[in-house]
Amino acid sequence: RERLDGRPWRQRLLVVANRLPVSAVRRGEDSWSLEISAGGLVSALLGVKEFEARWIGWAGVNVPDEVGQKALTKALAEKRCIPVFLDEDIVHQYYNGYCNNILWPLFHYLGLPQEDRLATTRSFQSQFAAYKKANQMFADVVNKHYEEGDVVWCHDYHLMFLPKCLKEYNSKMKVGWFLHTPFPSSEIHRTLPSRSELLRSVLAADLVGFHTYDYARHFVSACTRILGLEGTPEGVEDQGRLTRVAAFPIGIDSDRFIRALDAIPVQENIRELAERFKGRKVMLGVDRLDMIKGIPQKILAFEKFLEENPDWRDKVVLLQIAVPTRTDVPEYQKLTSQVHEIVGRINGRFGTLSAVPIHHLDRSLDFHALCALYAITDVALVTSLRDGMNLVSYEFVACQDTKKGVLILSEFAGAAQSLGAGAILVNPWNITEVAASIAQALNMPPDEREKRHKHNFAHVTSHTAQEWAETFVSELNDTVVEAQLRTRQ
């Protein structure tokens, strides 16, 4: 689209997500330093240049005083970010509680926490109340900054209550909602005490998007079975109003990764790593340290492989890079010690004075270091127990055009539906199967590796983050226009 004066017309896109794509550190009473932070959604939207995007979200810090809030708002404005200020109690109940203790595990098929199984428990009710309150606070900020013609794109399980709040303010607002996690089978969603309220609220959006058709289908089934509404090929219908439901598989900014491989620091890093691991095949895992990523299962499978293949013991190394997340949650602390214990045991068992089979790092890597690691890897291991999509698998493929390494990928990651033909698909719970697939990957002849890589590379470079966002927003625009036409008829 163009303006009358020939300049490109960029529609304003209000991206609403729990976290802003920056980390804020307070330097003084009225001064802040800001840094762009990593994460799936951030990586995806960084590549979108079509819209004039503004982010609305929580800055991840508690700022109780007005001076601090004003200064932070001003600093963020330069990065086109608008903060939602949440106090500590709300964050505890809404974010740590309802979002991460209830919705996150449930949507990944890990069930509800034991003490919250009964809808009547006080903690559940107060967490849900805080969730609604926080969503209302997001809605207030969106409403304040909304201008006619804007598109509002709400993200993820943190903000399922937001579409309803926004439409109550302004029924003409174009509202889309996208879920980055899986949407589970309706049988799982049924166990959630607030199941109906959340579904009804999401249905207030004009367009509801998921990574895969399966998740979209599960959502429609939940609406038909739990709410008794009608599911159509287009979406869900409620008394003549249609909410469009569809799959929009996310991608990455593949050019950014491909270009980075030519950068001098990456080239130097590649040379160093190649020298360090000379004579050994490199296997790589890059995950947030979360139970859904199946890290203990992956390491146990690697142990089984070493057990069964003594000839490979000094010829292969597994590099597991795990970024700690939610470090204040006891379950996550338990996972960290469990992983450390298994790694220690395996290194003790199979290590020699000169080398250990597993290098495990509890930290985040910068972009260039990550690209270099992806590029020198022979086999990437993605063994999520459930994963909405999994962008690590895409990033690995983007960096492998020289090496043509093999991707071992969990069938429970959304990415299995797009990269399935090129990857070796595994059930991450079956350690014997994963161990066998490691042997298959390490012994794969070059022509088969090339064929598989070509398939994946074509997919990753053509289904990009830009395309994902543009498709979603243009469909949201069309959906609203169609609905208006239908209402007029």
Which is nearer to ligand ADQ, 193 or 251 (by Cβ)? 251
Residue 372 C-beta: closest distance to ligand ADQ, Å: 12
Residue 184 C-beta: closest distance to ligand ADQ, Å: 13
Which is nearer to ligand ADQ, 368 or 455 (by Cβ)? 368
189 near 183, Cβ under 8 Å?
yes
Please name which of 43, 8, 32 lies closest in space to residue 255, comparing C-alpha atoms.
Answer: 43
Residue 403 C-beta: closest distance to ligand ADQ, Å: 18
Residue 386 C-beta: closest distance to ligand ADQ, Å: 9
Which is nearer to ligand ADQ, 16 or 286 (by Cβ)? 286
Interacting residues with ligand ADQ (CB under 6 A): 38-41, 43-44, 180-181, 250, 286-288, 321, 323, 364-365, 370, 387-392, 395
Measured CA to CA, the distance from residue 421 to residue 428 in angstroms comes to: 18
Which is nearer to ligand ADQ, 413 or 434 (by Cβ)? 413
Which is nearer to ligand ADQ, 134 or 250 (by Cβ)? 250
Residue 457 C-beta: closest distance to ligand ADQ, Å: 17
Which is nearer to ligand ADQ, 73 or 417 (by Cβ)? 417
Residue 326 C-beta: closest distance to ligand ADQ, Å: 12
Residue 87 C-beta: closest distance to ligand ADQ, Å: 26
Residue whose C-beta lies closest to ligand ADQ: 40
Which is nearer to ligand ADQ, 41 or 438 (by Cβ)? 41
